[in-house]
Structure 1
C-alpha cells in the first residue's frame, strides 16, 4: 500500500478537525478525488472527506512515508 501525505494550508470551515501547517495522511479514494475532495485522517484519528483546496500534496522519501504511516 502506498502512503501519501499532505500539508494543511487552510482549515477554514474545519477549525476543530484540521490544523494549518500540519502533515496529514491521505487514504487514496479515486471517487473522492473526482469530486474535488481528499480522504484524510484528521485530528480525531478517523478518515473524513475534505476539499482538496485545503491541502498541498508533498513528496517524501519512501522510507519516511512508511515510518510516518505506522506512527500511532
Structure 2
C-alpha cells in the first residue's frame, strides 16, 4: 500500500486536531477530493475530512513514506 503525506500549513478552526508544520497521512477518498477535502489521520489517531487548503502536499521518496507509516 502506498502512503501519501501532507504538511499542515494552518489549523484555524481545528486547533485540537491539527498541528502546523506537522506531517499527516492522507487516506484515499475520491469523493472527498472532488470537494477539495482530504481524509487525514489527525491527532486523535482517527481519520477525518479537512479542507485541502490547510495543507501542502509533500512528495517523499517511497522508502521514507514507508518508514514514517510503519513508525505510527
TM-score, normalising length: structure 1: 0.96
Calculate the aligned-residue CA RMSD, in Å. Answer: 0.6
The CA deviation at 1:3 is: 0.5
5+ residue gaps, structure 1, are: none
The Cα offsets for residues 2-49 of structure 1, whole Å up to 9 and x where unpaired, read as 100000001000000000000000001111000110000000000000
| Aligned match of 2:23 | 23
Runs of 4+ in 1 over 3 A off after TM superposition: none
1:1-72 matched pairs, under 5 angstroms: 1-72=1-72
| TM-score (structure 2 length as normaliser) | 0.96
Alignment size in residue pairs: 72
